[in-house]
Amino acid sequence: MNRELLSKAFGEIDDRFIAEAVYLPAGDASASPERKHMKTKRILTLALAAALILSLGIAGFAAWSIHSSRQQELRTDLKIEEGKPESYVEFPVADADANTAGVVLLSAINDGQEERIYLNVSPVAEEKLARFPEEARFFCMIEGTEYGGFAAPKLPAKLSLSGQDEIRKAVKEYSYDSETQTLTLEAYLMTDVLKKAMQELGTERIPLQVNMAVGEETLCFGKILFSPTEEQHRFFDFGHARYYDRELDKEIEILGLKLTPFSAEWIVHYEEDAKGHTPGADPGKYSSWYLLEDKVCIEAKLHFSDGSTFSTGGAVATPYQDGAVHQHCSWGSAIDIEDVQRITLGDLTLWERASESNFIQ
């Protein structure tokens, strides 16, 4: 292969990707967007509108309405009723928030590794939003610290999009309300980062600033105080189950699975795991082990009482801790972790719920 041509091919990628990557995630968040009064109103029902208009005012009603309808949409999309996650916290939208706030906290859930925070931000001018994702991005900063996290418009969990145009279209359709110029965001903050910030600030109420970087300009929508939520989890001990993969001719020990409604942490151990996960290790050398790691989280199935099955999918992070690899996977809609009946990997049953007759015996 001609390496210069390979370099050239990669060198010719779109300007938007090059421009996007030149900026560091933490930006100058001092500038504030222009505030505009919300003139329009959205009426769900005449009766409700009349009552609310009296108490909130017309502009407030439009904003309040979008916040409350977003909360309902999130509940549906995240399968809150179906998946029964106890750790999902929905925050009341205060009247004052509806009228004045640039950031409104809707709900949050701790998925084990990250806190997912759902927010409405406004005003987001349509022409600025049109520059997302290639020239605009969203991020959070914890005031008084150097910590922060990424944010993105909240899109339905099972949407499959390809390319910038489709993403832009979907954002406008599902995440944005043009009447109130309100955008619904999903922000991710690592739980470790939140813990460090709480220690540094000496408070459990985290001052979270939400920003949008458009080109070289950074807009700050405002700040909320956020208390991290509790994690709901279940641990499955597989008692050092061993899985042999014929194709790769390798064996892996599956120690356990920590499951939350939105994430999984597979704990696995194998012959060369320490070497394969030490700093500077050549990923190519351990690629078959990494494939085997992937097989565990992708091919293992959780079986539910209605006969349906679920795969946790590929891992997004695989730290090596305490003599084992911890594979972190996550997904968009809640699963009912109390309803898991069986966990299998190929022909191997890793765990099975004891039947009532077993209890009697």
59 touching other proteins, by CB under 8 A: no
Pick the binder of other proteins from 54, 283, 347, 359 (CB under 8 A): 283
CA 153 to chain centre: 11
Restricted to residues 172-231, the positions that interact with other proteins (CB under 8 A) are 190, 193, 215-216
- The CA-atom distances, in angstroms, between 228 and each of 115, 117, 142, 204, 265 are 7, 9, 12, 7, 20
Pick the binder of other proteins from 202, 239, 279, 307 (CB under 8 A): 279
355 touching other proteins, by CB under 8 A: no
- Sequence-distant (6+) residues with CB within 8 A of 26 are 139, 141, 146, 148
Work out how close the CB of 5 gets to other proteins at its nearest, in angstroms, rounded to a whole number.
4
- Which long-range contacts link 243-249 to residues 24+ away (Cβ below 8 Å)? 243/296, 243/345, 243/346, 243/348, 245/292, 245/295, 248/288, 248/291, 248/292, 248/295
34 touching other proteins, by CB under 8 A: no
31 touching other proteins, by CB under 8 A: no
Total residues at interface with other proteins (CB under 8 A):
54
Q: Which is nearer to other proteins, 6 or 96 (CB)?
A: 6
CA distance 84 to 81: 5
Work out how close the CB of 278 gets to other proteins at its nearest, in angstroms, rounded to a whole number.
7
Beta pairing, strands 234-245 & 176-177:
unpaired
Please state, as a whole number, how many other Cβ atoms lie within 10 Å of the Cβ of residue 23: 13
- Of residues 306, 185, 318, the one with CA closest to residue 264: 318
Instruction: Build a one-symbol-per-residue string for 88-127: x at contacts with other proteins by CB under 8 A, - elsewhere.
Output: ----------------------------------------
Asked if residue 300 lies in contact with residue 340, where contact means CB atoms within 8 angstroms, the answer is no
Structure tokens at 301: 């199935």
The torsion defined by the Cα of 65, 67, 73 and 79, in degrees rounded to 10, comes to -140
9 touching other proteins, by CB under 8 A: yes
Pick the binder of other proteins from 30, 45, 162, 361 (CB under 8 A): 162
Pick the binder of other proteins from 57, 83, 133, 332 (CB under 8 A): 133
264 touching other proteins, by CB under 8 A: no
Work out how close the CB of 285 gets to other proteins at its nearest, in angstroms, rounded to a whole number.
11
Binding site for other proteins (CB under 8 A): 1-22, 24-25, 133, 135, 137, 147, 150, 152, 161-164, 167, 190, 193, 215-216, 277-281, 283-284, 287, 290, 314, 316-320
